[in-house]
Amino acid sequence: MSSVALPLLIAVALVLSAVLSPALLSRAAPVLACVPRLAIGLLLGGAALWLLAAAAIALALAWVLSGPRLLPTTYGDVCQACLAASSPFSPDSTLATPLPVITLLVLPAAALAILLLRGVHTLLQRRRDTALEHTAVRSAAEGTELRGRRVLMLSDPTPIAFALPRRRGGIVVSTGLVESLTAAELDAVLEHEHTHLRQRHHLILAVLTAFVLPLRRIPLYDVVLEAVPHYVEIAADHSARGQCGTPALAAALLKIGEHRHRPMSSMRPDPTVPLLHVAGPDRIGHLVAPTSTGAAWMPLAALLGMTLALATATVAVHGPYLLLLLRGCGLPV
């Protein structure tokens, strides 16, 4: 393989993955909806893998390019020795450029560090903002027991059900919900919301906002941002359907869907606050008449194939660097 072929192939795979993944994910949705938790893992894992593969381009180029040194002679010699030790290519195959090779090592690390720091800042800010929203909800609700579960009860005639993080109060329902649903439908709603808490869906949405939202200009990240909340709701639906049956859950969703508006509108809730609602688009149709999975297997196979290709390339590049770090580069003291 030519020394420049590896970074070029990774770049092509990245572009194809970013552009084609939205269409493939849409067509593979009938299969992914059958395993929503696996779908969430595939989407978030694929997003992380794409970033690592992007960093692998610069790391692979560091093997095949040579340029002026920025480090002092002794450290520069050690850096070159480390690169030569990790590289699968012959030193004779390097190409001379005016670009210092050390920048190819520093830039990916710096970009990932900036993304992580920005994400952590977003998480901390989100935590402060949502604490205020949750406090307002808790102050307007009364703690009680409903169908064997602890809930916060809002005095509101509109059927409302959503979940706050457990430490912020847990399941919130309205008096209107209790009055409008049968016992079986109410059990289905409570099981749905309890699944959000049990599977820690608020953490998933927080990670999505902190680390995926900043990259949504990339088509792959845009579709991940849109799809993960949908599969989160389907995962909660699966649990509720298994415990309470499809008719009860579908009927509850239908009744709640007739009154779609944000809870406690007088408090001007922030749309980024992770309120996991029991109502959602197109979920009743999925429950009562799921789409055939026959035509979805081929796009899913293509999606998995691209993911495997990116994973292989990422391991092929990051692996030698990681092994070198574990052995130590022998920097002088």
Residue 225 lies in a domain: yes
Residue 215 belongs to a domain: yes
Q: Are 297 and 284 contained in the same domain?
A: no
In a domain, 270, yes or no: yes
| 230 in the same domain as 280 | yes
In this structure, the answer to whether residues 94 and 59 fall within a common structural domain is: yes
Q: How many domains does the chain have?
A: 2
Residue 132 lies in a domain: no
Domain co-membership, 159 together with 273: yes
Q: Mark whether 277 and 319 lie in a shared domain.
A: no
Residue 40 lies in a domain: yes
Tens-place pLDDT, residues 229-245: 989 999 999 999 999 99
Residue 37 forms part of a structural domain = yes
* pLDDT tens sequence for the chain (333 residues): 566 788 889 999 999 999 999 999 989 988 998 899 999 999 999 999 999 999 999 888 888 877 666 656 655 565 666 777 777 777 666 677 777 777 888 888 899 999 999 999 999 988 887 788 778 887 888 889 999 999 999 998 989 898 888 777 789 999 999 999 999 999 999 999 999 999 999 899 999 999 999 999 999 999 999 899 989 999 999 999 999 999 999 999 888 877 654 433 322 333 333 334 343 446 777 777 777 888 889 999 999 999 999 999 899 998 888 887 777 665 444
Contacts for 57 with CB less than 8 Å, ≥ 6 apart: 7, 10, 11, 14
Co-location of 307 and 262 in the same domain? no
Both tokens assigned to 164: 């706050």
pTM: 0.83
Residues 250 and 209 in one domain: yes
Q: Which domain holds residue 193?
A: 140-291
Q: Are residues 209 and 330 in the same domain?
A: no
- Domain co-membership, 36 together with 74: yes
Secondary-structure percent of the chain, ordered helix, strand, coil, rounded to 5 = 70, 10, 20
Looking at the structure, tell me whether residues 217 and 299 fall in a common domain: no
**7: in domain:** yes
Let me know if residue 116 belongs to a domain: no
Q: Are residues 296 and 268 in the same domain?
A: no
Q: Do 196 and 298 fall within a single domain?
A: no
